[in-house]
Structures are given as structure tokens and as C-alpha cells.
Amino acid sequence: MIASLGLILLCQLFGEIVVRSIGAPIPGPVVGLIVLLLLLQGRDRVGLLRRGPLGDGGVERAASGMLAHLSLLFVPAGVGVVQHLDLVSSHGIAIFVILALSAVVTLVVTAAAFIITSRLLDRWRGTSS
């Protein structure tokens, strides 16, 4: 458990160091995600990596424990709304409405783009084979 959490933090730390030192516009934890993904992939090919939290399913258990309550982690930042009650009272309704409309448009457009591309690809594969 401790070693698994340590490994996850190490990936994040590595990500932060890379991002800060090259000034990339990517968040550190996203680079950490890629590093952990590479480690998990590497473990299947290189026996040397198959030890500790990477060998006994520890990192998998720690990760699913953390992701089971992903919603909890957004609560502290969400409560930050109490700092902007003046903005809420002056423009709250307008902001609320346009955020909701934008969310609907983005959801529909994204899902549509995904499905259309996927179908075109299937059709193209179907005709080429």
C-alpha cells in the first residue's frame, strides 16, 4: 500500500519536474499518468520491472481505491464559490445559463464527432478489406 502510493507520487513528482524544467503547457500529473502507463506496459515485457507494487497488483489496488471516490476530491475547490457570492448575485444567472448551454452543445458535438468518425472509419475499413 505504502510502496504503491509512493510509486504514484513518484510518477507525479517526475511529471512536475519535467513540466517545470521545460516550461511545457501540460499539467504535471498528466505527464505522471503517461509515466505510470509506460511502467505498466513495460512490466509486461521486462521481468526486471515486475516487482514491488508493480508486481503484486498493489498499484492497481491503490489506484482503484483513489478513483472510487474521485468526486470527493473536487469538493474543496467547489466550496470556493463562497468567495464569489458578489459575482453570483450580479451575473450568476447569466453565467449559469451560458455554462449549461455550452455544456449541452459541447457534449452533443463531441459525442457526434466521435460516433461519425468511428462509423466512417468502419465503412472505410469495410470497403478496403
Partner 1 sequence: MSGTASGGPFALWVYLSQTPLLWLTVTLLVYAAADAVSAATNRHPLANPVLHSVWVIGVILLLTGTPYPEYFNGAQFVHFVLGPATVALAVPLYENRKVVLSAVVPMAVAVLVGGVTAIVSIVVMARLVGLPTNVVLALAPKSVTAGVAMGISESLGADPSITAVCVMLTGIMGAIIVTPLMNRLRITDFRARGFAAGLTAHGIGTARAFQVDTVAGVFAGVAMSLNALVTSLIVPVAVTLLMR
- Provide the terminal-to-terminal Cα distance of the chain, rounded to the nearest Å: 48
Q: How far is the CB of 93 from partner 1 (least distance, A)?
A: 10
Q: Does 30 interact with partner 1 (rule: CB under 8 A)? A: yes
Q: Does 114 interact with partner 1 (rule: CB under 8 A)? A: yes
Q: Does 50 interact with partner 1 (rule: CB under 8 A)? A: no
Among 2, 45, 48, 71, binds partner 1 (CB under 8 A): 71
Among 77, 89, 127, 129, binds partner 1 (CB under 8 A): 77
Cell of 2: 505504502
Among 2, 22, 48, 70, binds partner 1 (CB under 8 A): 70
In three state form, how does the secondary structure of the chain look? CHHHHHHHHHHHHHHHHHHHHHCCCCCHHHHHHHHHHHHHHHHHHCHHHCCHHHCCCHHHHHHHHHHHCHHHHHHHHHHHHHHHHHHHHHHHHHHHHHHHHHHHHHHHHHHHHHHHHHHHHHHHHHHHC
Among 21, 23, 48, 80, binds partner 1 (CB under 8 A): 80
The residues that touch partner 1, with contacts defined as CB under 8 A, are: 5, 8-9, 11-12, 15, 25-30, 32-37, 40-41, 59-60, 62-64, 66-67, 69-84, 87, 91, 94-111, 113-115, 117-118, 121
